[in-house]
Amino acid sequence: MDETLYEYFEDVADTNARAALESPGDLRLAINAIMTLDGFLGTLHSTLNRLRRVSERSDDQWKESVAQTCHHYRFLRDTAYALKHGTLDHRKPRLVRHSDQVVSMPGAFQAGAFQSNALQTDTVWIAADDTDYKAADVIRTVRELARDLLSKVP
């Protein structure tokens, strides 16, 4: 068992994901979660590659194969790349191309004031080519994906 990898997930990626999920309108926390979850998958690939548990030697190729099986991961990966580089201007298809597509939107008061969800809190949204996503939904799904992939490491 690779204790360092488990510590990385628990102490960094999962901790940042939980913080972002607890404060879904905090842009800094959402970006930290997005970046560390994507970074964790890169480190996970390195471990799986060393153990000869993956056929893709490059983490980009492996991440692409993971992205083909999990749309939310594809979206998170593209967002992380855009945040890292500012603008993605190559021809490779990406759902997110600019770092400014990640924004915190203020909550709103809805009509039906007596419903429990009438007052919504701020939410981090990510505008994509196909639709807009709540960062918390993407983070939640990829966090579980990462946990599942990690469970396969001996």
Confidence category of residue 104, pLDDT binned at 50, 70, 90: low
Whether 91 shows a pLDDT value over 80: the answer reads: no
pLDDT value at residue 113: 46
E strands, 18-99, are none
DSSP 17-55: HHHHHHSTT-HHHHHHHHHHHHHHHHHHHHHHHHTT--S
For the chain, the average pLDDT equals: 83
**C-beta of residue 142 within 8 angstroms of C-beta of residue 70:** yes
Extents of the domains making up the chain: 3-150
- Flag the least confident range among 13-27, 57-71, 79-93: 79-93
Confidence category of residue 112, pLDDT binned at 50, 70, 90: very low
pLDDT value at residue 109: 44
Confidence category of residue 130, pLDDT binned at 50, 70, 90: confident
